[in-house]
Structure 1
């Protein structure tokens, strides 16, 4: 039932006079107005005490390589995944630092997403063009964002390569124009396929043959933007003992099996989504969310926050990093690399209160997962964590040489996803993980992709 319209629906001069008189009634309003106009709200609302309290020291801290830099692209989920895997190569080969090629993964992600999009168009030919589903599919067919299970699909199908084998290009580091042109072409293909179907000019078989021709054009475009991915390569390195090694004629899949040697099926995606439509202890998937057709579907297990926190803590204390997804733009000082709920006192600066719960923020579009990073440390006091060390992929300038720090209170409010070993789950949760997932709509908040630049 909607609110009935009355004579007071419009903003009136009398109303404005009341608002103006209220604002001018307190002298400090003008002082705050001038300070915010000159310096910005974050400078005025900054709580300097937080900068002192959030120390970059941790009771548990893992060794990592040099900080990585996704530059002007939305590949955070990919960088975070490769940052987790590269440690295995560095340890096996006795390397102080090592980096896997993000451009290689990006090539195959764009190519697979293009196929996923075209298949989705073929599966929805009877849907109205102006309906919500087609509008959703057409919105961002090949954006840079992704999810953990999408990363797993790429690694398991295409392997990985050292960064020097397929280095960064202009368009891997500045992806906007590449995405725009590929998106333009994919939308054109959608017009072609849907028009041919609607005018009965093509059979199902001929439409799929047409799709293969379309993919050939996408492959060519990606080669121009990112370079052609290698079929084989030689791996040469000198370890910390100054010993030289050469391993010849490796495929990317060979390299992954030999030098990374991680069974990604041992890891599961756990979320904390405290909304009424997603009971804890159940699994969920999202319609039309993926990249590799025939690959692993996105699957989450939703758990209480106490379990969520405990799982992340267990894996760190066992010596393994934790891939995670969060809403990083909330209560963040990017330069200092600090995420803390008390970092900005917006309420005092603006004379308002902000009272939405985590559930409200998810339901009403105020928050969702935007960025993926890696936990590489935690500080525990009397058995409870109070701050977490974060490996980011924004280069060495922000934070503490590229590392960020997160308060445990912020963890509660804006953390949404972690990837942990299945073994850490209780027997009850392991059983729940094996149940068929409930399907969520494509536009559900848990269908968001980590894509922040």
Structure 2
């Protein structure tokens, strides 16, 4: 039996408990109300269904998209027909290249610019430069850059944004024009037959996965040794030993790059080629006539075809010697001219932590806008020089047909929606990021000298587009091209002044930085 005091305490405790339960119930009810507000309800879904089924066009669009895919259903045949593949200015390139299942587009595009000039200068029918060679050294340099970044951020909290960026990409395939220039200026070039493609350059994901995994173990070890008091000099020695393992992994995966090679090619001989074509046609006609009579042609076996032209033989040459001797391209004589409308125009910007090698060229771009880009680009093409550029290759594009054009890929009509964000807001909100580099090889100009469409050399092989080439409408160019790397000789004085000014430094996670960091 409770005493009066105990009973009083019990009553007070019961009241407090009831109060607490009431408060908890009220909070719970409030949370339920908050979570329920804004939720998708069955009545809303029923209304959406009613709206959808009330329009006959929705059913037709659904039939087309479900069975054929969104892009195929969105193809506007009138738009495709209007986007013809004739160009008033058109450069003749060698055979199309194929990066396959790798993110080396930035490297292929740079090599396509260089080999075009070499084919023209040496009078060759074709030439492909080794993508694997630069790929090997890009991985080595990125591994060293990552480990140096670890040494640079030893006291950085692992939860910081800086650390998150440093630890994000490692030796992934992506890159930029200045990364290409860094590699060529340091390591040179070589023909593809001196260091051909391999299974792991064609499809790099597995190799990259395990190299990155080892590098992150290395990073953990370096930070642990730092906490134990190891000096920077000691840590750099440890880093050097770590890089030996990375070199071994890359050499096993790609084959060790040759230090020297033999360069052997034969130049074209246009007169002999024309003569041979005429003789071939004449022999074919005679053989056909004899075959009809059941007789053997007297000319059979009389003429043998010989490969003519000058033979160029350069034995035991190094990649740097090859580059300086046979490639007239000065990669330091280019300016990356951008259209980044979310940044102030007329400024030079530099991306912090954007290089692919220690002491290499950081990514810089002169933000001058589309008018400057197109004017200089047309002049460069007219003078017979292609151009490296970067874009967002995904919106309003048809990979199989080789089309970049908003009117030809009319998803707005298919879904009955409108996409209204301008270029600046697409960058700010992460809707559009530069993700692919290609080479511009031609342009069509109207009667007033304005561009209507562009000829694009891709690096996805001959089975996409028209033998590997894409056509890009000028409207799409303005919307989704971000950078074009141009020769200084075709730039106006204002652009050159900006290119030589002190750059404004941008953080690596700036929207435009993110756009340029992950080209693949």
1:255 correspondence with 2:322: yes
Which residue of the partner structure matches residue 271 of structure 1? Answer: 338
Which residue of the partner structure matches residue 257 of structure 2? Answer: 229
How far apart in 1 are the matches of 2:519 and 2:370?
24
Deviation at 1:356, TM superposition (A): 1.0
The two structures have a TM-score, normalised by structure 1, of 0.95
Contact kept? 1:70, 1:393, Cα under 8 Å: yes
Which residue of the partner structure matches residue 347 of structure 1? Answer: 412
Instruction: Decide whether aligned partners of structure 1 residues 20 and 189 sit closer, same or farther in structure 2, where only a CA change above 3 A counts.
Output: same
Contact kept? 2:398, 2:409, Cα under 8 Å: no
Pairwise CA RMSD: 1.7
How far apart in 1 are the matches of 2:322 and 2:233?
37
How far apart in 2 are the matches of 1:63 and 1:78?
20
Which residue of the partner structure matches residue 112 of structure 1? Answer: 141
How far apart in 2 are the matches of 1:341 and 1:34?
22
Contact kept? 2:130, 2:192, Cα under 8 Å: yes
How far apart in 1 are the matches of 2:169 and 2:131?
21
1:316-365 deviation per Cα after TM superposition (whole angstroms, max 9, x unaligned): 11110011001111111111101111122222221222111111110001
Which residue of the partner structure matches residue 15 of structure 2? Answer: none
Between structure 1 and structure 2, the one with the greater Rg is: 2
Contact kept? 1:325, 1:450, Cα under 8 Å: no
1:159 correspondence with 2:185: no
How far apart in 2 are the matches of 1:7 and 1:91?
69
Contact kept? 2:392, 2:480, Cα under 8 Å: yes
Contact kept? 1:422, 1:430, Cα under 8 Å: yes
Deviation at 1:394, TM superposition (A): 0.7
Which residue of the partner structure matches residue 300 of structure 1? Answer: 365
Which residue of the partner structure matches residue 315 of structure 1? Answer: 380
**Structure with greater proportional helix content:** 2
Deviation at 1:116, TM superposition (A): 0.7
Extract unaligned runs of 5+ from structure 2.
1-32, 270-307
SS in 1 for 2:163: helix
Which residue of the partner structure matches residue 279 of structure 2? Answer: none
Contact kept? 2:259, 2:319, Cα under 8 Å: yes
How far apart in 2 are the matches of 1:137 and 1:349?
42
How far apart in 2 are the matches of 1:305 and 1:351?
30
Instruction: Decide whether aligned partners of structure 1 residues 51 and 214 sit closer, same or farther in structure 2, where only a CA change above 3 A counts.
Output: same
SS in 2 for 1:139: coil
The two structures have a TM-score, normalised by structure 2, of 0.83
Which residue of the partner structure matches residue 333 of structure 1? Answer: 398
Aligned residues: 447
How far apart in 2 are the matches of 1:14 and 1:8?
14
Deviation at 1:418, TM superposition (A): 0.5
Deviation at 1:50, TM superposition (A): 1.8
1:207-254 deviation per Cα after TM superposition (whole angstroms, max 9, x unaligned): 111111111111111111111111111211222232322112211110
1:54-453 equivalences under 5 Å are 54-197=83-226, 199-241=227-269, 242=308, 243-275=310-342, 278-382=343-447, 383-447=449-513, 448-449=515-516
Return the match for 2:63 from 34, 53, 59: 34
Which residue of the partner structure matches residue 284 of structure 2? Answer: none
How far apart in 2 are the matches of 1:262 and 1:28?
55
How far apart in 1 are the matches of 2:313 and 2:64?
61
SS in 2 for 1:374: strand
My pick for the range that moved more, 89-98 or 65-74, is 89-98
My pick for the range that moved more, 11-20 or 310-319, is 11-20
How far apart in 2 are the matches of 1:201 and 1:450?
34
SS in 1 for 2:482: strand
1:250-305 deviation per Cα after TM superposition (whole angstroms, max 9, x unaligned): 11110001000322221111110000xx2111011112111121122211100121
Instruction: Decide whether aligned partners of structure 1 residues 451 and 98 sit closer, same or farther in structure 2, where only a CA change above 3 A counts.
Output: farther
1:114-153 deviation per Cα after TM superposition (whole angstroms, max 9, x unaligned): 0111111111111111222212222221111111111100
How far apart in 1 are the matches of 2:263 and 2:79?
46
1:174-215 deviation per Cα after TM superposition (whole angstroms, max 9, x unaligned): 101011011111111111111222x22411111111111111
